[in-house]
Amino acid sequence: MARKLYELVGAEDDRRFSPYCWRSRMALAHKGLEAESVPWHFTDTDAIKFSGQGRVPVLVDGDKTVFDSWNIATYLEDRYPDKPSLFDGLTSRAMAGFFNSWVDTTVHPALIGVILMDVYDHLGAADQAYFRKSREERFGTTLEAFVADGPAKLAAFRQALQPARITLAKQPYLGGVGPQYVDYILFGAFQWARAISPQHLLEADDPIVPWRARLLDAHGGLAGNAKGYPV
Amino acid sequence: MARKLYELVGAEDDRRFSPYCWRSRMALAHKGLEAESVPWHFTDTDAIKFSGQGRVPVLVDGDKTVFDSWNIATYLEDRYPDKPSLFDGLTSRAMAGFFNSWVDTTVHPALIGVILMDVYDHLGAADQAYFRKSREERFGTTLEAFVADGPAKLAAFRQALQPARITLAKQPYLGGVGPQYVDYILFGAFQWARAISPQHLLEADDPIVPWRARLLDAHGGLAGNAKGYPV
């Protein structure tokens, strides 16, 4: 296949846990585009050297290489304008840029406090060493100290989701009546957790739960059929 | 004039400081619609009793009465479809609903910690008594205790704006190339502060500053010409 998506995996090659890779995978499915999945580990630096940087997702589409999930989404939208739109226009595309930043700066930092050790536990030995060193440098503390007070961190994660919760109590998707890229941006966080964490992130009556269920079922159950824990 | 907007004011009738009223005022201007401003104080409960509730903004448009800033925005969009769009489509309208909740649950609570006493200081005596009683009940502490540690609260407000900051470093408006209702939602917070607070909320090099300046100038300087403090 001429189209490939490099996706972060754990010790098991089918346990895909990158929220950013899931954004791209869902975006490809939304567009109805197939792409071979190339499993990639944190320490496989050489394998994506051709992209000129060191992180996934990396999309190879024929002779085109695109990295960074946002760049991949806008590339797909512009390259395949006749396929279902990821944004439904330039205004909502601009607003999706805000939403992307909101998830990256608010939801992900809150979630990592909850699932950090679950990520670690699902990595192979080389990736564990890389992960521990890089994250302990970033956070300025040990992994174990970073996840202390788990119940408070879970509560903070749930609180961070409040504007999404209010919205999803009123409408089926963040993008309105159907899923849009903005939905995949947030959904990536849940798919990240689902792949590697047995923790239940949401209370049963949370309006986010049925939205997550719809996205697990979307595009032929692409996300829900991926290896992970019951949510 | 057959169209009226009831707008919250302080002791001075031209000091309009409600973020929600500013959303509606900017939305009206965006649509090119005039509306007489009816100054309203916290304790003028009888004046809007006809609306069936007790808060502003209240829009009276001919024989139609609409309250709640979000309802007013969607009413204007649907009632005046041939005027410039506030949302530019249903997807971005759905996403503006999320943004509305984000500002209400994140930005406003952070800002009130900074400007609470400035609000109080600009109210008349009757409104001061109402404001102190209702807010002290809501916050479970005195006004003065609530605003303790002002520098930390200002830092938290700036931090809360981070996803908007990242977005506005890349594009002139939250809605993209021109102002949309989503811009007015956030701008209302700054116009709230500007009306009653001499504090400088943003650092000079903040990417939000030029965006705020553009909105102060928008629609003939409607917001920038309103009574307030230098920003």
In chain A, where the domains are located: 1-231
What is the edge-to-edge ordering of all strands in the sheet holding A58-61? A36-40, A3-8, A58-61, A64-67
Nearest chain A Cα distance for residue B178, angstroms: 9
Average pLDDT, chain A: 97
pLDDT band at A1 (very low <50, low <70, confident <90, very high): low
Contacts of B101 in chain A (CB under 8 A): 162-164, 166-167
Length of chain A: 231
Test B92 with A97 for CB contact under 8 angstroms.
no
Region B127-142 average pLDDT:
97
Q: Please list, in sequence order, all residues whose beta carbon lies within 8 angstroms of the beta carbon of residue B111, skipping any fewer than 6 positions away.
A: B157, B189, B192, B193, B201
Rounded mean pLDDT, B131-136: 98
Q: Is B156 exposed, middle or buried (0-12, 13-18, 19+ CB in 10 A)?
A: middle
What is the three-class DSSP state of B65? strand
Token pair for A10: 């754990």
> Is pLDDT of B1 > 60?
no
Residue A138 has pLDDT above 80, yes or no: yes
Instruction: Work out the average pLDDT over B133-156.
Output: 96
CATH of B1-231, one of 1.20.1050.130, 3.30.980.20, 1.10.3720.10, 3.90.180.10: 1.20.1050.130
What pTM did the predictor assign? Answer: 0.96
Residue closest to B73 by CA, chosen among B96, B55, B41, B50: B96
pLDDT at position B49, please? 97
Q: Are B119 and B228 in contact (CB under 8 A)?
A: no
pLDDT tens-digit map of A156-198: 999 999 999 999 999 999 999 999 999 999 999 999 999 999 9
pLDDT at A2: 87
B180 closest CB neighbour out of A91, A105, A180: A91
Paired residues of B66 in beta bridges: B59
Mean pLDDT of B68-75: 98
**A94-132 pLDDT, tens digit each:** 999 999 999 999 999 999 999 999 999 999 999 999 999
The answer to whether residues A60 and A44 touch, using CB atoms and an 8 Å cutoff, is no
Q: Where in chain B does DSSP place strands (E)? A: 3-8, 36-40, 58-61, 64-67
* Alpha carbon separation from A36 to A60, A179, A195, B6 (Å, rounded): 10, 23, 19, 58
Task: Return the half-sphere exposure (C-beta side, CA atoms, 13 A cut-off) of residue B38.
Answer: 15
Question: From edge to edge, which strands make up the β-sheet containing B64-67?
Answer: B36-40, B3-8, B58-61, B64-67
**Tell me, what's the pLDDT at A173?**
98
Set of chain B residues whose Cβ sits within 8 Å of the Cβ of A95: 92, 95-96, 99, 174-176, 182
Percentage of chain A modeled with pLDDT above 90: 99
Say which of B98, B166, B175 has its CB closest to residue A163.
B98
Could you tell me which chain A residue has the CA closest to the CA of B174?
A95
What CA–CA distance (Å, rounded) separates B23 from B187? 8
Cβ atoms within 10 Å of B38's Cβ, excluding its own? 17
Question: What pLDDT, in 10s, does the model give residues B99-117?
Answer: 999 999 999 999 999 999 9
Q: Find the mean pLDDT for residues A13-28.
A: 98
Total beta-carbon pairs less than 8 A apart between chain A and chain B: 104
Mean pLDDT in chain B? 97
- Pairwise CB contact (< 8 Å): B174 & A88: no
CB contact under 8 A, A163 and B106: yes
B105·A167 Cβ contact <8 A = no
What pLDDT, on the 0 to 100 scale, is given for residue B98? 98
Secondary structure class of B196 (helix, strand, coil): helix
* CB spacing of A106 vs B176 below 8 angstroms: no
A38's enclosing H/E stretch is strand A36-40
Q: What value does the mean pLDDT take over residues B137-160?
A: 96
Percent of chain B with pLDDT over 70: 100
DSSP, residue by residue, A83-112: SPPSSSSHHHHHHHHHHHHHIIIIIHHHHH
Q: Considering only alpha carbons, which residue of chain A is nearest residue B160? A: A106
